[in-house]
Amino acid sequence: MSSYNKVEAPKKLIKNGLRVDGRKPEELRPIKMEVGVLDKADGSAYVEHGRNKILVAVYGPREAHPKHIALPDRAALRCRYHMAPFSTEERRSPAPSRRDMELSKVIREALEPSILTQLYPRTTIDVFIEILQSDGGTRCAGITGASLALADAGIPLKDMVAACAVGKVDGKLVLDLNDLEDKYGEADMPIALMPNTGKITLLQMDGDLSTEEFNTAIEMAVEACKKIGQMQRESIRRKYLQGDKIA
C-alpha cells in the first residue's frame, strides 16, 4: 500500500464493549434506502449502509445480447458487481478483478431463487451493482439494493432478498462488520435470505469459528436480515404512499 493512503491497523477492535465506530456488538450501522433514483434504468435503488454508498440498476427483461446467452425456458439473470476507482482508500483500477467476478456470481445466485425467471424465456434480466464508496459489507448491501431495484423494475419476485454479514473481532461475535473489522477481525460471514421463509440464498465464510460460534452467529445474521427486509418494504412503500391516498 502506498505511503499516501496508509491506514494504521487498530490496536484493539473492541474497547470497553464498544467497537471502533462506537457500536455495540449486535448493532447495525445506519441504513438509508431509496428506490427509483435513475431515469434510464427499468428499476433502480440507492443504498447507504454505514459509509457504503451503493447504486443498483436493473434492465429487463430485455432481448439477450449476445444471442447465445439466451436460455430456451427462462430469463438469464446477469449480474455485475463493480467498484468505482474512487470507492476505496487506494484508487482501484476499473478493470474487473477476480474478487469482482466471484462476487458477481454469488450475488447472482443469491438473487436468482427469488425471481420467477420462467415467465420470460429467451430474455435477460441485467442487474448492475456499482459501489461508489466502500466500507465493508458491500456485497450484502449490494444484494439488498439489487432486490429493491428488481422490485422497482416490476420483475416478478417470490420475496425480497435481504443480506447482512456477521463476524468475530477480538474474540467477540459482532454484527455488520465495517472495513477495519473485516480486514483485522477473525471471521467474516455474509448471509442473504428471503425474509418470509427464512430460506438462505447466500452463505460465505472466511476465518475461524467453532460450530457453537457459527450457530450463534447465523441466528444473529438471520434476525438482522429480517430487520433489513422490513426496511426494504418500508422504503418501497414510502415511494408510493407520499401523501397520496390510495383508495
Partner 1 sequence: MSSTPSLQPLAKIERRALIESVEKGRRIDGRSPDEYRPVEIEAGVIPKAEGSAQVKLGKTKVLVGVKIDVGEPFPDTPDQGVLTVNAELVPLASPTFEPGPPDENAIELARVVDRGIRESGALDLQKLCIIPGSKVIVVFVDIYVLDHDGNLIDASALAALAALLNARMKKYELKKDEVVFKDKYEPLPVLNRPIAITTAKIGNALIVDPCLDEEYVMDARLTVTVDDGGRIRAMQKGGLGTITLKEIEAIIDMALKKSQELRKKVMEAVEQHE
Partner 2 sequence: MTIFVEKRQLVLPGDLMAENGYEMGVNVYREDGKIYALKVGLAELEDRKISVVPLKGCYVPHVGDQVIGKIVDVGLSGWLLDINTAYQAMLPLSEAIGRRQTHVKTELTSILNIGDLVLAKVIAFDRTRDPLLTIRGPGLGRITSGRTMKISSTKIPRLIGRKGSMVSMIKRETGCEIIIGQNGVVVVSGRSPLKVKAALEAISMVEREAHTEGLTDRVKEHIRRIVENVELQ
d(CA 239, CA 189): 32
Cell 417470490, located at residue: 158
**Vertex 8 angle, CA 3 and 14, to 5°:** 165
Comparing C-alpha atoms, which of 99, 96, 92 is closest to residue 133?
A: 92
Report the residue from 23, 29, 74, 82 that binds partner 1 according to the rule CB under 8 A. Answer: 82
**Does residue 55 interact with partner 1 by CB under 8 A?**
yes
Residues touching partner 1: how many (CB under 8 A)?
Answer: 36
- For 146, the 3-state DSSP assignment is helix
CB of 106 to partner 2, least distance (A): 21
d(CA 213, CA 174): 11
**Does residue 65 interact with partner 2 by CB under 8 A?**
no
Give the cell for residue 187. Answer: 471471521
User: Residue 38: is it exposed, middle or buried by C-beta count within 10 angstroms (0-12/13-18/19+)?
Assistant: middle
Q: Where are the alpha helices (DSSP H) in 64-152?
A: 98-111, 138-152
Cβ atoms of 36 and 239 within 8 Å: the answer is: yes
**Does residue 42 interact with partner 2 by CB under 8 A?**
yes
Stretch that binds partner 2, among 58-66, 78-86, 97-105, 211-219 (CB under 8 A): 58-66
User: Residue 170: is it exposed, middle or buried by C-beta count within 10 angstroms (0-12/13-18/19+)?
Assistant: middle
Identity of the residue, 17 or 243, whose beta carbon is nearer to partner 2 in the bound complex? 243
CB of 31 to partner 1, least distance (A): 17
CB of 4 to partner 1, least distance (A): 5
**Residue 108 CA, distance from chain mean position:** 11
Instruction: Work out what residue 38 binds among partner 2, partner 1, none; the CB cut-off runs from 5 to 8 Å by kind.
Output: partner 1
| Helix 138-152 with 98-111: angle, nearest 10 deg | 50
**Does residue 195 interact with partner 2 by CB under 8 A?**
yes
**Does residue 247 interact with partner 1 by CB under 8 A?**
no
CB of 8 to partner 1, least distance (A): 11
Stretch that binds partner 1, among 116-124, 133-141, 155-163, 185-193 (CB under 8 A): 133-141
Identity of the residue, 59 or 120, whose beta carbon is nearer to partner 1 in the bound complex? 59
Report the residue from 14, 33, 50, 87 that binds partner 1 according to the rule CB under 8 A. Answer: 87
**Does residue 178 interact with partner 1 by CB under 8 A?**
no
> What residues line the site for partner 2 (CB under 8 A)?
42-43, 60-63, 72, 114, 116, 119-123, 151-160, 194-196, 233, 236-237, 240-241, 244-247
